[in-house]
Structure 1
């Protein structure tokens, strides 16, 4: 029996070591692996589409000398976000190509604006690093302009909170707080609703473009004054609503109420350039919900499921190893013998080894004491 304790001790050691390893894995995975998962992917590729209808200034008519506004124009805003260099373990550069077009016209005649935005951000907080400085390109035949920024864009940080965040507006080229409104649900998914209201911004002070401050005869503007020149400034306002899945920071739904207009006083719009409400369409919302769920599943798997399973298995292996080790150390002891099985001699003397007598004894010649037999007649019942 003593020979069996060796393998038992080896197995016990293996179980204890395995249990300790699994317990260490259960502790380290949430702190190490989850931190790796809570980062913007280096292969991000997201398309969002927002649709609506509104008022649009007819640019061709304006060039001809008459401010004409088309109403109930179908509009589509499309944004395509990808990643590019510089990108590493800590930062990633997001490139967003965004277009706004009216779908009642074909080709370039329906294109109202096109912007290419590049911005390098921290992969976990989604805040810009300004290393390198972000750029904005509005004309295909002109170089991009460097525009530093200090607010979120396109994505919120992981584990977003119910608070205000700085958010960069591309048209105003300025950062303003976007405020937490409420916790709600979209397609069964918990989301945080944020809102940002941008008061009128003088676009002529943002971008040096001749169309941002324009002088035309009063009659061309459709205001009193005949042929007298009237100078109007182009203004921009927006009400932005975002619904964010807090664990991943994915923007599940977005909506903007855009208004650009010409006016001599920002408080009194005179000619609409663009006035429209553009929410994400249903296909985009469903896609973004699935993106958020996929991210949540990965974080949950490595942050909770795997550590729990590893912890339970590690504890079982550790306990089994300890019990097996203790039982193996208390194996049965060999029985003590009296000189190789030789019976003790008369008088209580015990012979061991070479002291044992070698003469053989013939037990058949011994006389045994006769045991009297009871007389059966004593039990006669008669």
Structure 2
């Protein structure tokens, strides 16, 4: 049976080799550069306003309703995805939470599919947009960042995508904070009222409405002169065209290492009007925030991604500890002490004392 010292040495050798191998292959296993993980566990952003004002875009009268509204963004990472790029599918919905059914409460739904750079978060392809049931998808240019800012984000200005205007607008760095052990950067985007009909025309980006009665009276007074036959004719109803305008303020909070959005406060105002300064009917007046539970879930997901310096320290610490343990194991198995014991085992009980190694104590014969 092997001595206990030999068994312990063998265990140390095995443990040392395991740590060495683990440290050397760690770069292939650790997500250390902040790129978008392909297995990101939390990919839903829900932002709610309990007292939002809405009106159906298919209702020419613009009947307003006040109640809870939720905007939800859900991102799926799909194939094909590579070491450098990822194909993402982002579904966006606006829903009245107090509607009798999901169908009645749906205000708007869109699906965006495109390829982005996993490190910079920037699109590297056009987007395929599906926005209306029964209509084929359309291809639109994609620009700026959306739910993924650059890894190792900087205290600067980035372009942030607005899905309604299908354009990117500047998001300016505001400040930084620490959540848990992660640094989070705060950026703010402000978009002035802009005509959706002018930049991204669609089915509900303009509408015909009756001219206000007061305006009719003024116009009738100015045109009071006329023939008797003209006054007896039935006047046709007068209408005017209103365009849909969109304005937004977004405060987004970004994990500095990964560039993933982990929190947001969003204000959106949409109205049908004659100009950016003359609103006639409200389409949406929304001011909401990401709920705390969802923000905590997103922070937990990004916390699984280590920084490059942390990964490098962990790697070399593992290699160093493994090398030390391996050295002790080898010394115990083949090194100091083993040769001395073998020498003493060969000493005959009849060997004269002067020929024994210094310090040797002869054991009396039984």
Does residue 258 (structure 1) correspond to residue 258 (structure 2)? The answer is no
Q: Please give the alpha-carbon distance, in whole angstroms, between the structure 1 residues aligned to 2:285 and 2:72.
A: 17
Q: Please give the alpha-carbon distance, in whole angstroms, between the structure 2 residues aligned to 1:319 and 1:223.
A: 96
Kindly state the Cα deviation for residue 273 of structure 1 after the two structures are TM-superposed.
Answer: 0.8
The equivalent of 2:124 in structure 1 is: 129
Change (3 A) 1:116 1:321: same
Helix, strand or coil: the match of 2:304? helix
**Which of 314, 334, 339 is the aligned partner of 2:323?**
314
Q: How does 1:112-191 map to 2 (within 5 A)?
A: 112-130=107-125, 133-186=126-179, 189-191=182-184
The equivalent of 1:55 in structure 2 is: 53
Kindly state the Cα deviation for residue 152 of structure 1 after the two structures are TM-superposed.
Answer: 1.1
Does residue 85 (structure 1) correspond to residue 85 (structure 2)? The answer is no
Q: Of the two structures, which has the highest relative contact order with CA contacts closer than 8 Å and spacing of 6 or more?
A: 2
Aligned length: 314
Tell me, yes or no, if the aligned pair for 1:86 and 1:120 is still in contact at 8 Å.
Answer: no
Change (3 A) 1:91 1:136: same
Does residue 39 (structure 1) correspond to residue 35 (structure 2)? The answer is yes
Tell me, yes or no, if the aligned pair for 1:241 and 1:255 is still in contact at 8 Å.
Answer: yes
The equivalent of 2:231 in structure 1 is: none
Kindly state the Cα deviation for residue 185 of structure 1 after the two structures are TM-superposed.
Answer: 3.7
Change (3 A) 1:60 1:268: closer
Kindly state the Cα deviation for residue 178 of structure 1 after the two structures are TM-superposed.
Answer: 1.4
Deviates more, 1:282-291 or 1:19-28: 19-28
Q: Please give the alpha-carbon distance, in whole angstroms, between the structure 2 residues aligned to 1:103 and 1:223.
A: 37
Kindly state the Cα deviation for residue 27 of structure 1 after the two structures are TM-superposed.
Answer: 7.4
Change (3 A) 1:312 1:95: same
Q: Which of these two proteins has the greater Rg computed from alpha carbons?
A: 1
Helix, strand or coil: the match of 1:291? helix
The equivalent of 1:6 in structure 2 is: none
Kindly state the Cα deviation for residue 197 of structure 1 after the two structures are TM-superposed.
Answer: 0.9
The equivalent of 2:95 in structure 1 is: 101
TM-score for both structures, normalised by structure 1: 0.70
Deviations 1:39-78 (A, max 9, x none): 323344622211102211244652xxx33322x3211112
Q: Please give the alpha-carbon distance, in whole angstroms, between the structure 2 residues aligned to 1:89 and 1:223.
A: 64
The equivalent of 1:203 in structure 2 is: 196
Tell me, yes or no, if the aligned pair for 1:34 and 1:303 is still in contact at 8 Å.
Answer: no
Tell me, yes or no, if the aligned pair for 1:20 and 1:318 is still in contact at 8 Å.
Answer: no
Kindly state the Cα deviation for residue 194 of structure 1 after the two structures are TM-superposed.
Answer: 0.8
Deviations 1:180-205 (A, max 9, x none): 11012446753111111112221112
Helix, strand or coil: the match of 1:120? strand
* Structure 2 unmatched runs, 5+: 1-8, 218-236, 344-366
Q: Please give the alpha-carbon distance, in whole angstroms, between the structure 1 residues aligned to 2:21 and 2:238.
A: 82
Does residue 305 (structure 1) correspond to residue 305 (structure 2)? The answer is no
Q: Please give the alpha-carbon distance, in whole angstroms, between the structure 2 residues aligned to 1:121 and 1:60.
A: 34
TM-score for both structures, normalised by structure 2: 0.72
Q: CA RMSD in A?
A: 3.7
Tell me, yes or no, if the aligned pair for 2:17 and 2:322 is still in contact at 8 Å.
Answer: no
* Structure 1 unmatched runs, 5+: 1-10, 334-382
The equivalent of 1:362 in structure 2 is: none
The equivalent of 2:63 in structure 1 is: 68
Tell me, yes or no, if the aligned pair for 1:194 and 1:242 is still in contact at 8 Å.
Answer: yes
Deviates more, 1:50-59 or 1:37-46: 37-46
Kindly state the Cα deviation for residue 145 of structure 1 after the two structures are TM-superposed.
Answer: 1.3
